[in-house]
Structure 1
Amino acid sequence: MTPSLGAAMAARGASVTGGTSSAATAAATEASTDPPTEPTSVSSVPDREPVYNWQASKPTLKERLGFLLNNEALSDVHFVVGKGSGVQRVPAHRFALSIGSAVFDAMFNGGMATTATEIELPDVEPAAFLGLLKFLYSDEVQVGPETVMNMLYTAKKYTVPALEVHCVDFLKNNLRPDNAFMLLSQARLFDEPQLASLCLENIDRNTMDALAAEGFTDIDLDTLVAVLGRDTLGAREVCLFLAAMRWAEAEAQRQQFPPTPENKRKVLGKALHLIRFPLMTIEEFAADPAQSGVLTDREVVSLFLHFTINPKPRVEFINRPRCCLRGKECSITRFGQVESRWGYCGTSDRIRFSVNRRIFLVGFGLYGSIHGPTDYKVSIQVLHTDSNTMLGRNDTGFSCDGSANTFRVMFKEPVEILASVNYIASATLEGQDSYYGTRGVRKVTHEGSGTRTCFTFCYVAGNNNGTAVEDGQIPEVIFYT
């Protein structure tokens, strides 16, 4: 038995339907004569008299077959489906099943064909089995978030590839960051490589949202290993570590272990060594992994030495950057000259931008005080222009030395910026008057490693503290390609 999508997809439930008509419509007018089509429990199957001349009111083959769906009329086999109090007894027709499924054909007509008139299917959900029959009798597919997984399992069990395709297409269309891990586990279980690949790509693009989803802690160890081993995750290693600790605590409880550091390390197994501790800052490592108790004393010491001395000693963990954080850090400056002065009153400086290729935005360079060394409070943000969705934010501060240089303020996580999509860069500063840029240009191109990254800047309508293409704040954009 397999779990359903449940509440994770209920808000986006949908129905995929094939075929052009339904026997239910024609049969609705004959409610007084047609037998009911709903499944009944094993203990309450009534004796049914044949309905006389029902064929006359069903002009098409589709309607006639649809009338027979879950109907005692002409049935020659019964299935006892499910288990426990949810068992249902479903009438069926060997011929209709045999022409739609090679498994049913072998069951009824093969060399070891069964002669039983009642077949028990305790591993199949009644709703999924009735959905399978509906497809075999009428080519119609009715699949929703609560039934799709069981329907896929049933379609695979009885080798009905067309129904499998409908189920997988439904899952693809409903794939989101908050269910990507759960669907990935199911895709691996059902050997659906295309769906698994789409799930992994979604996780790469929305790593932090996917890790925060409730379903993340329910995945199996092999799925966790498959994800942590990827070079394409868009998250810092400390966030991957914290997510792995959440998973380890849930897994220890599933295995009925106390969630001690030793047991967390035990259930993580080889997944622990896929976390790239050397890529953390020493502050990140000291705040969480070093104090977690999951690492041995020798591992903690060797990593601290790796952070603090040269030449760096060998460590047992991967130190290769994930590709979204790999390579040389790049930056572009959009102003040709620096002037003074620029004031702040709680309003955000904002500028709209787009890029010709996919990048990961990691921070901004901002101007500092014209009055000498001082500290600023700052909130930086990246928003999607059309939906006004916040994609990245950091509320922090920075110190400046009184020069006209820019000072780096970084996001906590890289922000994926897609090609030819409009975004808004925003910075809200609290502090003394600062320098500002002038002689700004609309397009700025960065050349590097045989690639051209072209930024296009535009004015943001509304209250933007005066920042525009020609002058203002947010002079520097820092990114990885």
Structure 2
Amino acid sequence: MSAGIQDKPAAQAVGNTCDWQIRRQKVSERGKFLLETAQWSDCQFVVGTEPHQQLFSVHKLFLAMSSPVFEAMFFGGMPEKDEPIPILDVQPEAFKALLEYIYTDEINLQSFDQACELCYVAKKYMIPHVVEECTKYLWGDLFPKNACRAYEFARLFEEPVLMDKCLRIICSETEAVLREGSFEDIEVSTLETILDQEELSINSELELFEAVQRWAAAECSRRGVDIKSMRSVLGSAIGKIRLLTLTPAEFAEGPALSPLLTKDESFAILMNISSKTATKVTLPESFSTCSVPRKRPAGEDKHIIQLPGEAREGQKYYCLRNISPQPHGYNTSNLDCSVSFTVDRNICVLGVQVPTQICPPPPPFRYDGPQLHESYTEVIYAHLLDSDGSRLTYTHVTSRVSYASLVEITFDRPVYIQRNKIYRVGVVLNKMGRYPMGTGDRRIVCGSVLFNFCVGPDIDSVREGIIKSIVFTY
């Protein structure tokens, strides 16, 4: 056994503490103690592969209560033997997280990778609540950098809702997806799925060709074959690129020079691009005959989509809400405020504006009037969610601000939102102090955009007025 494996006798010795139950009021606390100390454990699992194997001492009854697979394993017709049970296809950390849920009802997800691994082991042992929690976490942590991997994960485990959401991100933010280094690691079936899409957020098919070429080179490296084999590792994917949508110059300066194409293929394609009547030059069967460029996702105007490092065009608008004053509220820990909204045309949301504290909080926190000459350090978390509760963008701000003023918060990533769909913008204020409360206007026209606030199942709250303004462009 490798280093770091749990020593069962030593662990049990730690657990033999007098009256340990008395100091633990909750079942989850007692379960945690049993898991950590292996007190009364009657089964062991060897999880993972060398050199990262770990041994877990557990209790059959606990596991059988949570999983029909464990129940069959321990109390079915063919119960396991007393020797440690090997589990080679699961990561030790994921198995540990599953045990923590079984013993304490707690699921502590910290990363995308962890959620994927835990979801796998939860599926394996038929614990649907854990699968659901992992899927929800993945919904809220989808970005161009992991959309392809999440899509492959969702397809493998037959999660159609997650698959659809991943594909929507891939189609709406294709340029960012293609630029990610992780794109070169996707499966060929995922590559083909992307190339099958009628709507992609790209300026030219040349972007797809270059990305496919990078992927093919990486695949050759993974297989340990010569770079000249790029064409063979692509299979039918090369035929899904719409090369006929390129200009003669784009094709001649790019794909025509690529090792993916033979000279005869490049000549035939170039002739078909250059002349619509070039009937004597037959296009190779494996290549797309489509000369219609792909559409951008419905409602998308590329001039308002900001990519990393690029300048944003267009005017910035502030949908400023009139707030009906209510008694000021004093925040003693974290003040969580949000409001749902819809718009009647597609826009790009850049951020929000929220009010700062109305005054310094002198004991006993009475209101002495605004003191504009003073400032303090504000700590704010802001996010934008879709109708499923999935996080579209967020930011965390720590800034020196003036009392009785507005602070503008810019999201880490601007998001293009669609008309007549419900979204929710929220902030969490982390500083103790007195904030202005109230309810805001329900309908506002800003520029040529109609905003409707507090829509759907939203509940009126004086805290929704903390969202003073939505910053956007279109």
TM-score greater than 0.5 by the shorter chain: yes
Distance change (3 Å), C-alpha of 1:47 and 1:168: closer
Shift of 1:53: 2.7
Whether 1:282 aligns to 2:248 is yes
Aligned match of 1:160: 127
The 1-side partners of 2:182 and 2:160 are apart by 20
Mean Cα deviation higher: 268-277 or 187-196: 187-196
Whether 1:107 aligns to 2:73 is yes
Structure 2 residue corresponding to 1:322, chosen from 294, 300, 311? 294
Shift of 1:232: 1.5
Does the CA contact (< 8 Å) of 2:12 and 2:40 recur in 1? no
Distance change (3 Å), C-alpha of 1:258 and 1:63: same
Q: Aligned with 2:118: secondary structure? A: helix
Shift of 1:358: 4.3
The 1-side partners of 2:31 and 2:412 are apart by 50
The 1-side partners of 2:89 and 2:81 are apart by 21
Structure 1 residue corresponding to 2:231, chosen from 257, 265, 269? 265
Does the CA contact (< 8 Å) of 2:346 and 2:419 recur in 1? yes
Structure 1, residues 406-425: CA drift from partner, whole Å, max 9, x if none? xxxxxxxxx9785599xxxx
The 2-side partners of 1:350 and 1:155 are apart by 47
Structure 1, residues 124-157: CA drift from partner, whole Å, max 9, x if none? 2221111101111111001221522221221111
Structure 1 residue corresponding to 2:263, chosen from 297, 311, 334? 297
Q: How many residues align?
A: 321
Shift of 1:40: 4.8
One-letter amino acid of the counterpart of residue 105, structure 2: D
Does the CA contact (< 8 Å) of 1:124 and 1:154 recur in 2? yes
The 2-side partners of 1:248 and 1:102 are apart by 43
Superposition TM-score, scaled by structure 1 size:
0.59
Shift of 1:386: 7.8
Structure 1 unaligned regions, length at least 5: 1-38, 330-347, 361-384, 392-414, 422-454, 458-478
The 1-side partners of 2:210 and 2:278 are apart by 25
The 1-side partners of 2:41 and 2:78 are apart by 21
The 2-side partners of 1:184 and 1:251 are apart by 19
Structure 1 residue corresponding to 2:116, chosen from 149, 160, 179? 149
Q: Aligned with 1:120: secondary structure? A: strand
Shift of 1:80: 1.7
Distance change (3 Å), C-alpha of 1:170 and 1:281: same
Shift of 1:307: 1.9
Distance change (3 Å), C-alpha of 1:255 and 1:303: same
Structure 1, residues 373-431: CA drift from partner, whole Å, max 9, x if none? xxxxxxxxxxxx9849998xxxxxxxxxxxxxxxxxxxxxxx9785599xxxxxxxxxx
Higher alpha-carbon Rg: 1
Does the CA contact (< 8 Å) of 1:76 and 1:117 recur in 2? no
Distance change (3 Å), C-alpha of 1:326 and 1:298: farther
Does the CA contact (< 8 Å) of 1:233 and 1:322 recur in 2? yes
Distance change (3 Å), C-alpha of 1:193 and 1:93: same
Aligned match of 1:373: none
Shift of 1:187: 2.4
Whether 1:173 aligns to 2:143 is no
Distance change (3 Å), C-alpha of 1:312 and 1:166: farther
Aligned match of 1:48: 12
Aligned match of 1:18: none
Structure 1 residue corresponding to 2:193, chosen from 213, 222, 226? 226
Aligned match of 1:239: 207
Whether 1:255 aligns to 2:219 is no
The 1-side partners of 2:409 and 2:26 are apart by 50
Distance change (3 Å), C-alpha of 1:71 and 1:351: closer
Q: Aligned with 2:51: secondary structure? A: helix
Does the CA contact (< 8 Å) of 2:200 and 2:297 recur in 1? no
Shift of 1:215: 0.6
Does the CA contact (< 8 Å) of 1:70 and 1:90 recur in 2? no
Distance change (3 Å), C-alpha of 1:169 and 1:255: same
Does the CA contact (< 8 Å) of 2:171 and 2:297 recur in 1? no
Distance change (3 Å), C-alpha of 1:390 and 1:193: closer
The 1-side partners of 2:11 and 2:141 are apart by 43
Aligned match of 1:61: 27
One-letter amino acid of the counterpart of residue 73, structure 1: Q
Q: Aligned with 1:84: secondary structure? A: coil
Structure 1, residues 61-95: CA drift from partner, whole Å, max 9, x if none? 33322321233212111112222232222111111
The 1-side partners of 2:239 and 2:288 are apart by 6
Aligned match of 2:178: 211
Q: Aligned with 1:90: secondary structure? A: strand
Q: Percent identity between the aligned chains?
A: 32
The 1-side partners of 2:168 and 2:201 are apart by 11
Whether 1:71 aligns to 2:37 is yes
